[in-house]
């Protein structure tokens, strides 16, 4: 029977509506209301979304669509995921598909101190404030993932990226990274702990195959990642470029099992840019988001460029032909959707803030508290602001921009207060004069471009200026140029570059009142040390650098920073540099961490080598005593807590803070061990002439070593010692105890 045309249309519209209603019921409501966002509710919602996603949509979510974003699913209202560097500030907007800035005018931010400075504060509460304020800026810049923190252990003073990381000790790095991550993620921004794992140098980073023992892997190189995952609940993690035991770390079978099976990581593994090299391995060994892959020009436009990624068309084809299971892409999408519900679709996240006074205050606070006073002969520091005195500030680092360069962590701050500006603003009575002294060269990317100014004239001028001054402050060190403190390659000399040593020696000849502001993210050769009366390690401090440096130089702030890594007297005193090329930098293919667990002070202690400056060392304008050190009992089992109590007295004439460090060692052991290892610390602030009783609590189970015979941790019974002091080489009290 022919249905009249009009009725036909009505029937068609009715069918369409029913289909839509049915389909509507199948397509889940993506949004989550406040209070609904319980884990169970989210997981159920994820299940319902995966059920209606096409295979093409799922695969598309697992790789980049641009330099710093991945696809969403528009038809379902699933948003894209946007990410940005970096660990100490939100990077300027990068072009959609090119390594160049997008030229925005609203992406200037607060540059916080580099993380080596944060580690030097030994202040976990401050790490949380740092993370929270940085996370506010990432939120305001509408990012979902902030590509930081970096926690790779400081193994060699040559590593170009040490300035971005938290030093040589796994306990310090673990203790500082957790509150930093929590602070960031309180904003509904995912932190992304990196680079997992064993990326401890930049030279040959994209190919070097690291061989290291299981003990050193688990006791030295993984703990900060494990803490980030299990204590920090980090929502994202970045794979590294290098190989481990012959397989790329970004999709490494061993590391994948440790991360997702053993540790229970439920977040997203983001590759480093171009660190994926195999569809099958990326699919099987845990890559959830493939970023930055070079497709050798296969992509002719920004649209189809990304179709050639390992987790793009090749992955889709492998699933369709049954070579790879669809379960693999489902797990990746589940993790990505979980990330989206923790960030973009999180109903509880704020709107963020940018360049606020609070952000500047925190940046200055971290900077001033992380600065380390290394030498202070004749109370050279603090320098009084007195009429009639002339202070000569000499050195390129007095004015050099230190937020540009250094690689992916470079920033475009709203402002950057230079050391010279900070000192000029603080010293109203003393006369500040300045000359450059030396010039490193105009480019942070190409060290071969010669300096523009005549080095001899700079040198001569510097001596002249030094002669006229009562006090000389030399602002030198390294910088963010290639082969200095920069990503992409390593330093090639341990000594200060750009003729600084010769200049310092010559300045000393005309003015003995010489102090050094050492702007570096690494240890450097210090043959020039006897020519100085005072040395301040000032790190890379970001937007508020000059103010923080002036705070400490003037005495407005009493320095309380402690070194997060050792300064060797000679490069070959360092563990990694004690075993020839195969140990560092490797032979171009393989590298062996022959020092094993003896990294940093562990090496100096055990080999009885005196460092120039030790891990945990830092002076104050005050003096402190540590006394009456006690332990709560003499014998402990694995479930007990070891409580160390002590008194700290400020015997100086001003307020200050001391970091009491508690190390533990086991002299007689069935396995090789370092003399002692940091297992706790407490930063105690004290007014002048006052005393406080404080304590550090250590879980006895945390004294276990990684037992390679059982591939798990073992707590050895027997005699141990506590070492309590204010530096790894300045122990005030040693107490014996038993584990039974
Ligand atoms: C770089 C870095 C990584 C950074 C990424 C994106 O190669 O290794 O730390 O987050 O690429 O810029």
Answer yes or no: is pLDDT of 642 > 70. yes
State the distance from the centre of ligand 1 to the C-alpha of 92, rounded, in angstroms: 14
Cα–ligand 1 centroid distance for 129 (angstroms):
24
Look at residue 38 in the predicted model and tell me its pLDDT.
85
Ligand 1 geometric centre to CA of 223 (Å)? 21
Which segments of the chain belong to CATH 3.40.50.1700?
A: 371-565
Say how many Å lie between the CA of residue 520 and the centre of ligand 1: 21
**Is residue 520 pLDDT above 80, yes or no?**
yes
Mutate to test the pocket of ligand 1, among 67, 70, 85 (most ligand atoms within 8 A of CB): 85
State in Å: Cα 408 to ligand 1 middle: 5
**Ligand 1: distance of its center to the CA of 272 in Å?**
6
Say what the pLDDT of residue 465 is.
97
DSSP states of 6-51 as a string?
Answer: HHHHHHHHHHHHHHHHHHHHHS------TTT--HHHHHHHHHHHHH
pTM score, whole prediction: 0.95
CA of 90 to the centre of ligand 1 (A): 13
Q: Which atom of ligand 1 is nearest to the CA of 199?
A: 8
Domain 622-739 has CATH 3.30.70.260: no
Per-residue pLDDT, 449: 79
Which atom of ligand 1 is the closest one to the Cα of 273?
11
Residue pLDDT, tens place only, 134-175: 999 999 999 999 999 999 999 999 999 999 999 999 999 999
CA of 390 to the centre of ligand 1 (A): 44
Q: 665-711 pLDDT, tens per residue?
A: 999 999 999 999 999 999 999 999 999 999 999 999 999 999 999 99
The number of C-alpha atoms within 13 Å of 277 and in the hemisphere containing its C-beta is: 15
Chain-centre distance of CA 31, in angstroms? 34
Stretch 581-597: mean pLDDT: 98
Work out the percent of the chain whose per-residue pLDDT is above 90.
Answer: 90
Rounded distance between C-alpha atoms, residue 343 and residue 377, angstroms: 51
Q: Which residues line the pocket of ligand 1, CB cutoff 6 A?
A: 85, 147, 194, 272-273, 408
Q: For a pocket test of ligand 1, which of 66, 273, 405, 410 has the largest count of ligand atoms closer than 8 A to its C-beta?
A: 273
Q: Which of 298, 297, 275, 292 is nearest to 98 (CA)?
A: 292
**DSSP letter (8 states) at residue 289:** B
Average pLDDT over residues 207-226: 98
Q: Which of 272, 573, 596, 605 is catalytic?
A: 272
Cβ atoms of residues 494 and 528 within 8 Å: no
Residue 97 C-alpha to ligand 1 middle, in angstroms?
Answer: 15
Mean pLDDT score of the chain: 95
Closest ligand 1 atom to residue 91 Cα is: 12
Residue with tokens 């509880």: 348
Is the pLDDT at 387 greater than 50, yes or no? yes
| 97 neighbors 302 (Cβ within 8 angstroms) | yes
Q: How far apart are the first and last CA of the chain?
A: 93
Model confidence over 8-51: pLDDT tens digits?
566 555 555 554 444 444 667 888 888 777 888 999 999 999 99
| Ligand 1 atom at minimum distance from 147 CA | 10
- What are 87-126's pLDDT values in tens digits? 999 999 999 888 889 999 999 999 999 999 999 999 999 9
CA dihedral 76, 77, 80, 82 (to 10 degrees): -150
Q: In this structure, which residue's CA is closest to atom 11 in ligand 1?
A: 273
CATH-assigned architecture of domain 371-565: 3-Layer(aba) Sandwich (3.40)
Residue from 147, 194, 270 to probe ligand 1 pocket by mutation (most atoms less than 8 Å from CB)? 147
pLDDT at 22: 44
Q: Is the pLDDT of residue 301 over 70?
A: no
Among protein residues, the one whose CA lies closest to atom 4 of ligand 1: 408
| 273 CA distance to ligand 1 middle (Å) | 6
Per-residue pLDDT for 472 more than 80?
yes
- Ligand 1: atom nearest CA of 148 is 10
Domain ranges in the chain with CATH number 2.60.40.10: 622-739
Neighbours of 410 (CB within 10 A): 21
* Matching CATH number, 7-342, of 3.30.420.40, 3.20.20.300, 3.40.50.300, 3.40.50.620: 3.20.20.300
To test the pocket of ligand 1, the residue of 161, 163, 203, 408 to mutate (highest count of ligand atoms within 8 Å of its CB) is: 408
Of all protein residues, the one whose alpha carbon is nearest to atom 8 of ligand 1 is: 272
- Catalytic (active site) residue 573: no
Which ligand 1 atom lies nearest to the CA of residue 68?
A: 6
Closest listed residue to residue 472, CA positions, set 553, 560, 368, 561 = 553
For 709-732, how does the pLDDT look when each residue is reduced to its tens digit (9 = 90+)?
Answer: 999 999 999 999 999 999 999 999
Calculate the alpha carbon distances from 91 to 182, 403, 405, 472 in Å: 20, 10, 12, 35
CA-based nearest residue to 138, from 125, 149, 122, 153: 149
**Best substitution site from 64, 66, 250, 487 to test ligand 1's pocket, by max atoms within 8 Å of Cβ?**
487
Residues of the chain with CATH 3.20.20.300: 7-342
Q: Which helix (H) or strand (E) holds 374?
A: strand 372-376
C-alpha separations of 18 from 10, 21, 49, 166 in Å: 12, 5, 21, 59
Q: What atom of ligand 1 comes closest to residue 240's alpha carbon?
A: 8
Q: Which atom of ligand 1 is nearest to the CA of 192?
A: 10
């Amino acid at each position: 029977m022919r249905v009249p045309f009009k009725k036909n249309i009505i029937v068609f519209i009715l069918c369409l509506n029913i289909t839509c209603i049915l389909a509507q019921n199948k397509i889940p409501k993506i949004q989550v209301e406040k209070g609904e966002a319980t884990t169970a509710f989210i997981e159920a919602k994820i299940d319902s979304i995966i059920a209606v996603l096409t295979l093409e949509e799922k695969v598309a979510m697992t790789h980049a669509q641009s330099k710093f974003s991945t696809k969403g699913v528009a038809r379902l209202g699933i948003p894209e995921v946007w990410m940005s560097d970096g660990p100490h500030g939100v990077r300027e907007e990068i072009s959609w598909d090119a390594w160049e800035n997008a030229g925005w005018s609203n992406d200037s931010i607060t540059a916080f101190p580099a993380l080596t400075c944060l580690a030097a504060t030994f202040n976990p509460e401050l790490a949380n404030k740092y993370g929270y304020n940085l996370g506010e800026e990432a939120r305001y810049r509408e990012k979902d993932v902030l590509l930081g923190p970096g926690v790779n252990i400081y193994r060699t003073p040559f590593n170009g990226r040490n300035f971005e990381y938290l030093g040589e000790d796994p306990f310090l790095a673990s203790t500082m990274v957790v509150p930093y991550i929590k602070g960031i993620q309180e904003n509904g921004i995912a932190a992304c702990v990196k680079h997992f794992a064993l990326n401890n140098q930049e030279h040959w980073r994209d190919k070097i195959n690291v061989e290291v023992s299981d003990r050193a892997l688990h006791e030295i190189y993984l703990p900060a990642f494990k803490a980030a995952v299990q204590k920090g609940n980090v929502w994202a993690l970045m794979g590294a470029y290098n190989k481990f035991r012959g397989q790329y770390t970004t999709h490494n079978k061993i590391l994948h099992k440790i991360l997702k099976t053993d540790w229970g990581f439920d977040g997203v593994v983001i590759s480093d840019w171009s660190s994926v090299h195999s569809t099958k391995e990326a699919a099987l060994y845990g890559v959830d988001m493939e970023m930055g892959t070079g497709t050798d020009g296969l992509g002719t436009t920004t649209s189809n460029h990304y179709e050639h990624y390992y987790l793009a068309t090749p992955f889709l084809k492998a699933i369709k032909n049954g070579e790879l299971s669809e379960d693999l892409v489902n797990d990746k999408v589940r993790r990505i959707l979980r990330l989206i519900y923790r960030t973009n679709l999180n109903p509880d996240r704020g709107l963020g803030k940018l360049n606020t006074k609070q952000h500047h205050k925190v940046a200055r606070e971290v900077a001033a508290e992380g600065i380390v006073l290394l030498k202070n002969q004749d109370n050279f520091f603090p320098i009084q602001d007195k009429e009639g005195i002339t202070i000569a500030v000499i050195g390129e680092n007095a004015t050099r921009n230190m937020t540009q360069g250094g690689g992916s962590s470079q920033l475009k701050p709203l402002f950057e207060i230079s050391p010279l500006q900070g000192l000029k603003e603080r010293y109203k009575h003393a006369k500040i004069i300045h000359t450059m002294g030396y010039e490193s060269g105009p480019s942070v990317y190409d060290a071969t471009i010669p300096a523009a100014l005549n080095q001899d004239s700079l040198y001569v001028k510097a001596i002249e200026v030094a002669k006229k001054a009562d006090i000389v402050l030399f602002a030198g060190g390294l910088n963010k140029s290639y082969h200095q403190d920069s990503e992409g390659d390593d330093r090639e000399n341990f000594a200060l570059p750009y003729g600084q040593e010769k200049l310092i020696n010559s300045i000393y000849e005309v003015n003995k009142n010489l102090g050094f502001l050492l702007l570096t993210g690494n240890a450097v050769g210090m043959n020039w040390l006897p020519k100085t009366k005072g040395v301040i390690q000032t790190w890379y401090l970001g937007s508020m650098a000059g103010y923080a440096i002036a705070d400490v130089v003037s005495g407005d702030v009493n320095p309380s920073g402690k070194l997060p890594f050792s300064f060797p007297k000679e490069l070959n005193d360092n563990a990694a540099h004690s075993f020839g090329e195969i140990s560092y930098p490797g032979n171009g293919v393989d590298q062996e961490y022959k020092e094993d667990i003896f990294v940093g002070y562990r090496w100096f202690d055990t080999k009885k080598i005196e460092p120039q400056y030790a891990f945990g060392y830092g002076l104050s304008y005050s003096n402190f005593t540590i006394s009456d050190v006690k332990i709560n009992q003499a014998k402990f089992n694995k479930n007990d807590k070891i409580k160390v109590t002590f008194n700290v007295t400020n015997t100086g004439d001003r307020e200050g803070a001391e970091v009491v460090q508690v190390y533990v060692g086991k002299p007689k052991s069935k396995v090789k061990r370092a003399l002692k290892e940091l297992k706790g610390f407490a930063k105690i602030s004290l007014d002048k002439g006052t005393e406080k009783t404080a304590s550090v609590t250590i879980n006895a189970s945390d004294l276990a070593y990684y037992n390679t015979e059982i591939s798990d941790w073992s707590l050895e019974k027997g005699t141990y010692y506590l070492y309590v002091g204010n530096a790894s080489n300045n122990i005030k009290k040693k107490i014996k105890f038993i584990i039974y």
